[in-house]
Structure 1
Amino acid sequence: MALVPSSVRHLHPEEVVWEAMMTGWAAQMRSRALSVSTVEPRLSGVRRFMTFSGEYPWRWSPDDVDAWSAELLGRRVARSTLRGYQAGLRLFCDYLVDARYGWGERCLELFGTHPVQVCHEWNTMRHVVDVEARPAVRPLTREEVQRLFDHADDQVEAVRRLGRKGWQAAWRDAALFKVIYGFGLRRREAVMLDTVDFHRNAVAPEFGAFAICQVRYGKAMRGSPPRRRSVLGAWPWTTTVLAEYVEQIRPLYATARGPALWPTERGGRVSVDYVTRRFAEYRDAAGLPAELHPHCLRHSYVTHLIEDGWDPTFVQHQVGHIWGSTTALYSGVSGDFKNQTLRATLDRLTGGGS
């Protein structure tokens, strides 16, 4: 056990072993190339459980998990959040009881007991449904999308009319939200775009230089590098938005010498958190429901393509889903669309449309 040398006598061995366990588990996760955004929440979740239980891992019991889970549910923690906490705790215990790491033997030697797996099928949540998002979170309707974009455009004119600085940022943000929707992007995919990530498409010359969006920072899976994909332009208006922004607005930024498509005045690129805050500001001002967030624009993209008759497999590849069932969950087609589809199918089957 290199993390806790047996040749050294420690004044507080419990604390030394506890911190060594956390250090070792962090190293194990990093060796799997898991991202910091995965590793850090798992570590902090286990630390919170340790604080709640008031005991070190070699004295934990399933009862501690029961009480902890009940306390979190009492605080109305989201079910997906609780399941994530439980999964992190389960993984930590798996690490501790793995004989290859020797924690059991070391704890027996020092404390007369050893860690056990305290999470089991009867005290942890199971993933029994495909999606656990709040039911109120949904795609925007076409009218809501238009209201959001109209408000974003109005901010450009309002700032310019008042003679204030920042109208370029307002224009940039309006274009950013339109690109997120127009290409069905996640927030990080959008903010990481560079000007060189758009290309022509010989089969769609009407889109000009903005016919193909190369997404280089797609969602990673289990320690893999970011997944890449090409998103083909589906709505010609995206060409106008991008061309106008890239040719007229982006050059006004003194920092636009870098590659970032969405630069800031200080030379960086806009952040994911900035996109979230700005969307919330525009959403509220446009009178849209408070539960909507930027990812809803991606859901709207899927829904509206399906409603327009695009092939579901094409839509699946556009948004980078491995499974078609995931794309189906993103779609919230309207009642009118379903009724039209029903009527058209019945007419075809019965000859009512002839």
Structure 2
Amino acid sequence: MVFMDGQGLGSGASVPAGKVTLLRPAEQLFDEMLTGWTAQQTSRMLTTQTIKTRASQVRRFGDFCGTPPWEWSPADVEEWTTSLVSGARPLSTSTVRAYQNSVALFCDYLTDHRYGWADRCEELFGTHPVQVCHEWNTVIHTSDHEARPAVRPLNRLELQAFFDYADDLVDRARSSGRKGWQTLFRDATLFKIIYAFGLRRREAAMLDLHDFTRNPKGPEFGRFGVCNVRWGKAMRGSQPRRRAVLAVFDWTRPVIEEYVTEVRPRFGTADESVLWPTERQSRIRLDHIDDRFADWRDDLGLDPVLHPHCLRHSYVTHLIEDGFDPLFVQQQVGHRWGSTTALYTGVSGDYRNRTLRRALDAAFTPPTAIQEGSSR
């Protein structure tokens, strides 16, 4: 694009058509639209990654259609969606919704008269963009939680076996003088902390040492009484949500203290704040967490559907089984709705039977029997 007056471009109406010479009209106007949309989202203080992801998804839709935005139609959305859920690796419902949402937001921007895109397209091409996403061809969001039904929390025996196996690997590597024992120790501690505070992978990976603080009401946890999560799951492109998670397990302090004082300094990282450094002076990667968990899971012969996020499900389930108030658990894991926490909960049959028995005893035991029992 050649700007005859040397000015930049912010939106469709920012530069009069008479001052612009389009060398490749369709391609360059599409680029101009995306530039304007990026500026609009930046003005809304959306994160850079969210903006980049949405632009990429719109580009992908445009490549699929093979036509510019002012020629898109609802049928294109339907054909594109069909392609996304077909083939050997169909996308999940939540991913498809995210793709459709990006296209819908882009079309909302293009059809907003305040930006002048419709007038520009009419002047140059004799047509204008329309909203191609509607309630009949897009995914409806009916639940905050859409995980695969097979994904479940680890029961207590599985969890203990997993942690014991991790510790055994560390002990064997350390006693044999193998160089990688520090990495094994780091990963074993990482998984314990994910479970101990009910964290998501990214929340755990982004932790710094100073994210742990004291809890005046829990002095037994020392400096590790509160885990201040700074990289919680964002909502609608906003900044990461923060929350403070209180330590609840008595073994949390000795586990993390041993790692922080004896193992973490051995990595010699230049950034002394990073909690989980690598030998290459960087933060631990999410795919490494996935791969390590999968290796240990498979070595133990555990259910192949289990993945690191199941530790978070386990945390919720075990707190509920141990009698913690559901609202407390909901706040610990940072859920907006109690229904989402309930979906994370997979209490054991034994727990449910005990709960049922208590309810039945309370409902069917005569009041006189209760009084007699309490007086003895």
1:105 CA displacement = 0.2
Indicate which of 25, 34, 37 corresponds to 1:22: 34
In the alignment, structure 1 residue 133 sits paired with structure 2 residue 147: yes
CA distance, structure 1, for counterparts of residue 98 and residue 242 of structure 2? 26
TM-score by length of 1: 0.93
Aligned to 2:115: 101
CA distance, structure 2, for counterparts of residue 173 and residue 45 of structure 1? 34
Opposite residue 63 of structure 1, the aligned amino acid is: A
CA distance, structure 2, for counterparts of residue 269 and residue 46 of structure 1? 31
Indicate which of 158, 174, 177 corresponds to 1:163: 177
Larger Rg: 2
Q: Is the contact between residue 152 and residue 346 of structure 2 (CA under 8 Å) also seen in structure 1?
A: yes
Q: Is the contact between residue 50 and residue 237 of structure 2 (CA under 8 Å) also seen in structure 1?
A: no
Q: Is the contact between residue 46 and residue 239 of structure 2 (CA under 8 Å) also seen in structure 1?
A: no
Structure 2, unaligned runs of 5 or more: 1-12
Q: Which moved more, 1:149-158 or 1:222-231?
A: 222-231
Q: Secondary structure at the match of 2:20?
A: coil
CA distance, structure 2, for counterparts of residue 101 and residue 194 of structure 1? 43
Aligned to 1:228: 242
Q: Which moved more, 1:35-44 or 1:110-119?
A: 35-44
Aligned to 1:31: 43
CA distance, structure 2, for counterparts of residue 304 and residue 312 of structure 1? 11
In the alignment, structure 1 residue 50 sits paired with structure 2 residue 62: yes
Q: Deviations over 1:292-325 (max 9, x none)?
A: 2211111110110001111111111111222222
Q: Is the contact between residue 3 and residue 20 of structure 1 (CA under 8 Å) also seen in structure 2?
A: no
Provide closer, same or farther for how the CA distance between residues 264 and 134 of structure 1 changes in structure 2, counting only shifts above 3 A.
same
Q: What is the count of residue pairs matched by the alignment?
A: 354
Provide closer, same or farther for how the CA distance between residues 72 and 261 of structure 1 changes in structure 2, counting only shifts above 3 A.
closer
* RMSD value, Cα: 2.0
Structure 1, unaligned runs of 5 or more: none
Aligned to 2:213: 199
Q: Secondary structure at the match of 1:231?
A: strand
CA distance, structure 2, for counterparts of residue 135 and residue 266 of structure 1? 38
CA distance, structure 2, for counterparts of residue 199 and residue 85 of structure 1? 39
Q: Secondary structure at the match of 1:228?
A: strand
Aligned to 1:300: 314
CA distance, structure 1, for counterparts of residue 50 and residue 158 of structure 2? 34
Q: Secondary structure at the match of 1:149?
A: helix
TM-score by length of 2: 0.88
Provide closer, same or farther for how the CA distance between residues 284 and 5 of structure 1 changes in structure 2, counting only shifts above 3 A.
farther
Aligned to 1:244: 258
CA distance, structure 2, for counterparts of residue 47 and residue 265 of structure 1? 37
Aligned ranges for residues 1-354 of structure 1 at < 5 Å?
1-2=13-14, 5-75=17-87, 76-255=90-269, 258-351=272-365
Provide closer, same or farther for how the CA distance between residues 225 and 131 of structure 1 changes in structure 2, counting only shifts above 3 A.
closer
1:240 CA displacement = 1.5
Provide closer, same or farther for how the CA distance between residues 81 and 196 of structure 1 changes in structure 2, counting only shifts above 3 A.
closer
Provide closer, same or farther for how the CA distance between residues 315 and 16 of structure 1 changes in structure 2, counting only shifts above 3 A.
same
Q: Is the contact between residue 179 and residue 238 of structure 1 (CA under 8 Å) also seen in structure 2?
A: yes
Q: Which moved more, 1:338-347 or 1:220-229?
A: 220-229
Q: Secondary structure at the match of 2:228?
A: strand
